[in-house]
Amino acid sequence: MDRVTAQFPEAVAERYLDRTGGAWAVIHAEHLPKVAAFLKNDLDFKLFTSIDAVDRLHLAENDPRFEVVYFVYSLSRKEHVRFKVRVSEAKPELPSITPIFKGADWWERFVWDFYGIRFSGHPDLRRVLLYEEFQGHPLRKDYALRDRQPLVPERPIKDIFRGPGTSGVS
């Protein structure tokens, strides 16, 4: 992260070590795409590992409410980079890094599905694990556990167990 801070001093809001000694950086949201591109293209962090989010609703310092955490890895350098972007509850939206890391596609959809954080510029931002009529985002800490979801008619599905050649018909 030293090279990222040197290249983009305005992009890094904070740097710290976690309790296990892992280095973290907090990136300003508007600089996320250029930092991700720099990590991939200039520093050889080509393996996108994952994205997740944290709802900081009940923490003492909960403004902004959400943190989206990113994990990338360099196979040549055998190093991990961990960084996060803080997102406000008023406008839970970040720029998508799917154009930079194709592996971010599913993870951004997951974060949208479960936390309600939008990714502007994402090619296909829709629910990935929950059905489209599901109301709310279940990993938010203010999601009501006892609420009922609307009943939806069962959708017809194709026979996924039979493919060409298994039914005796070619």
- Residue 77 is part of which domain span? 2-120
Task: In whole angstroms, give the CA distance from residue 2 to residue 141.
Answer: 34
Q: Which helix (H) or strand (E) holds 106?
A: helix 104-115
Look at the chain and report how many structural domains it folds into.
Answer: 1
> Where residue 27 sits, what CATH number does that domain have?
3.30.460.80
Give the pLDDT band (50/70/90) at residue 161.
low
Give the pLDDT band (50/70/90) at residue 151.
confident
Give the pLDDT band (50/70/90) at residue 106.
very high
Give the pLDDT band (50/70/90) at residue 152.
confident
- 99 within a domain of the structure (yes/no): yes
- 49 within a domain of the structure (yes/no): yes
- 163 within a domain of the structure (yes/no): no
- 18 within a domain of the structure (yes/no): yes
The model's pTM = 0.85
- 46 within a domain of the structure (yes/no): yes
- 21 within a domain of the structure (yes/no): yes
What would you report as the CA-atom Rg of the chain, rounded to the nearest whole angstrom? 19
Show contacts of 135-143: CB within 8 Å, 24+ apart. 137/113, 138/114, 139/53, 139/55, 139/114, 139/115, 140/55, 140/57, 140/114, 140/115, 140/116, 141/55, 141/57, 141/58, 142/57
Q: Identify the burial level of 118 via C-beta atoms within 10 angstroms of its C-beta, where 0-12 means exposed, 13-18 middle and 19 or more buried.
A: middle
- 85 within a domain of the structure (yes/no): yes
Percent of the chain with pLDDT over 90: 76
- 131 within a domain of the structure (yes/no): no
Residue 167 has pLDDT above 90, yes or no: no
- Residue position matching structure tokens 């929950």: 130
